[in-house]
Amino acid sequence: MKRLLALLPLLLLTPSAFAAAPTAAQKDEFYAVCVGISQNAELCRCKADAAMTLIDERFMGVVIASMKGGSPAAADYDAYNTYVARSNQVCKPNY
C-alpha cells in the first residue's frame, strides 16, 4: 500500500495525465468498428464509453487501428493489453 501511495504522484505526472481525451468522432468510429466486428451493440456501447475514460486521444487511434486489423507498436503492447483487460473488467465483469 505504501508503495502504491508513493507511486501516485509519479502517475499524475506522466504524459498521459495531460493528454487530450478521445474525441467524440473517435468514440463514434470505435463504436462503428466494434459493432461491425461483434454485432453486439450493448458491449460496443460500453466499450466505447469506457475508452473515453481509460485512454487518451492518441491511444484511441491505436485501439481503433488494432480493431481494424493492425497491430500496436511494440512500445504500445503493454498499454494495449492493460486497456483491453481494464475495459473487459468494466464491460464483461465475468469474463
* C-alpha triplet 20, 23, 24: angle, nearest 5°: 155
pLDDT in tens, 49-60: 999 999 999 999
Whether the pLDDT of residue 44 is over 90: the answer is yes
60 part of a folded domain: yes
78 part of a folded domain: yes
Report pLDDT for 7.
Answer: 47
Quickly list H helices, the chain.
Answer: 2-12, 15-18, 24-38, 41-54, 57-67, 77-91
What is the number of structural domains in the chain? 1
pTM of the model: 0.78
Report pLDDT for 13.
Answer: 40
How far apart are alpha carbons 55 and 38 in whole angstroms?
21
62 part of a folded domain: yes
- For the record, the C-alpha cell of 13 comes out as 505526472
- For the record, the C-alpha cell of 81 comes out as 493489453
How far apart are alpha carbons 46 and 90 in whole angstroms?
8
Report pLDDT for 93.
Answer: 87
15 part of a folded domain: no
80 part of a folded domain: yes
Report pLDDT for 17.
Answer: 55
Q: Which domain holds residue 41?
A: 20-91
